């Protein structure tokens, strides 16, 4: 049984090969299906980095999109103070300097000042399309590429 097929199930016995997993989601899904530690069987030794991987780019993009959507909602429906705080957060988070720090670059990056603003605008457009269009499956390939 694949990790995806096991999602949502509780299993008494789970046998897994953690060394062959991809991404951060599969090891978690496989391990979390077991109802007890006694029912977990790992088929072979695995390197620690397998369970310490960073989330995939798709997952990071989705978290970013949700973060923007959350703060947009606060700006729209929150108090004036909450809206101001949310707006300041978005500017800080998606500024050129924040993007440079996020990439963990040792040397300065040649970013034009508007990169953060363009990226924020792209995320806002993507959120608006998702809300209007009924979900991520309605996004065009160009919109998905822009959001990255």
The low-confidence residues of the chain, meaning pLDDT below 50, are 106-111, 113, 139, 142-144, 146-148
Q: Which long-range contacts (CB under 8 A, 24 or more apart) does 46-51 make?
A: 46/17, 46/18, 46/19, 47/19, 50/18, 50/19, 50/21, 51/18, 51/27
pLDDT at 119: 66
**pLDDT on residue 1:** 72
pLDDT at 51: 77
pLDDT at 71: 92
pLDDT in the model for residue 61:
87
Overall pTM surpassing 0.75 (yes/no): no
What pLDDT is recorded for position 142? 47
86: number of Cβ within 10 Å? 19
Residue 109 has a pLDDT of 46
């Amino acid at each position: 049984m694949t990790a995806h097929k096991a999602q949502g199930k509780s299993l008494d016995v789970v046998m897994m090969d953690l060394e062959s997993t991809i991404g951060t989601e599969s090891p978690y899904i496989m391990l979390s299906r077991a109802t007890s530690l006694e029912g977990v069987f790992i088929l072979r030794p695995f390197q620690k980095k397998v369970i310490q991987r960073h989330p995939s780019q798709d997952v990071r993009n989705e978290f970013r999109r949700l973060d923007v959507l959350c703060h947009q909602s606060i700006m729209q429906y929150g108090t004036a103070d909450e809206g101001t705080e949310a707006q300041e957060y978005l500017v800080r988070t998606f500024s050129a300097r924040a993007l440079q720090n996020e990439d963990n670059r040792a040397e300065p990056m040649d970013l034009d000042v508007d990169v953060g603003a363009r990226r924020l605008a792209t995320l806002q457009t993507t959120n608006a399309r998702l809300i209007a269009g009924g979900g991520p499956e309605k996004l065009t390939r160009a919109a998905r590429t822009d959001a990255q």
